[in-house]
Amino acid sequence: MIKILKVLFSDNKNIQKCFAIRKKVFVEEQNCDPKDEYENEEESIHFLLIKDNQNIATARYRKTEKGIKMERFAVLKQYRGKGFGYKILNAMLKDLDKKTSIKYLHAQVQVVGFYEKIGFEKVGDIFDEVGIMHYKMIFKSN
C-alpha cells in the first residue's frame, strides 16, 4: 500500500524521514555538500511517499518571488523507474491545484524527459547548480 504524507517542518519524526532519503540521494550518491542541501526547510511543504512501511521518495515546494518552486525530488535508487517519482509529483501538483502562481523547478539534465511528459517545459539555457547541470522548467498544463 502506498501513502503520501504532506509534512510540515514541525513534524520532526516525518521530516527526519524526508531528510534521510535526501541524504542518501543527494549527499551520498550525488556528492552534494550538506550545507547546500539543507536550506529553506521551515518555509517548505514536504512530501513523503511510503510503500509497505518503507520510506521511498520525498520532495517539497516553497513560495519564492518567482512563483512556487518544486524541488528536492528524491527517490531511493532501488525504487527508481517504478512510478514513485510520478506519484509524489502528482500529489504535489494536486495540492497546488488551486494556487495560481507559476509552478517551476530546476531539473537535473537526466530527468528533463520525465518532467516534460508531465507538462513541464524547459525555459532558458542549461546551468550548473551545486556541480550538477540543470534546466529551469515551468509547469504548463493541468
Domain residue limits, the chain: 2-139
Band (31; pLDDT cuts 50, 70, 90): confident
Average pLDDT, the chain: 92
C-alpha cell at 17: 524521514
pLDDT at 60 over 80: yes
d(CA 59, CA 41): 11
What's this model's pTM, rounded to 2 decimal places?
0.91
List, in order, residues 6 or more apart from 138 with CB less than 8 Å away.
102, 103, 104, 120, 121, 123
Q: Which helix (H) or strand (E) holds 22?
A: helix 12-22
DSSP letters along 34-102, please? Answer: HHHHS-S-TTSEEEEEEETTEEEEEEEEEEETTEEEEEEEEE-GGGTTSSHHHHHHHHHHHHTTT--S-
Contact between 9 and 44 under an 8 Å Cβ cutoff? The reply is yes
Band (34; pLDDT cuts 50, 70, 90): confident
Contact between 72 and 60 under an 8 Å Cβ cutoff? The reply is yes
Of residues 100 and 105, more confidently modeled: 105
Band (125; pLDDT cuts 50, 70, 90): very high
- In CATH terms, the fold of domain 2-139 is Aminopeptidase (3.40.630)
Of residues 98 and 67, more confidently modeled: 67
User: Which residues, listed in sequence order, are joined to residue 71 by a DSSP beta bridge?
Assistant: 60
Rounded mean pLDDT, 21-35: 89
d(CA 90, CA 83): 11
Sign of CA dihedral 31, 49, 11, 99: positive
pLDDT at 142 over 60: no
Rounded mean pLDDT, 90-119: 90
What pLDDT was estimated at residue 106? 95
Q: Which helix (H) or strand (E) holds 116?
A: helix 112-118
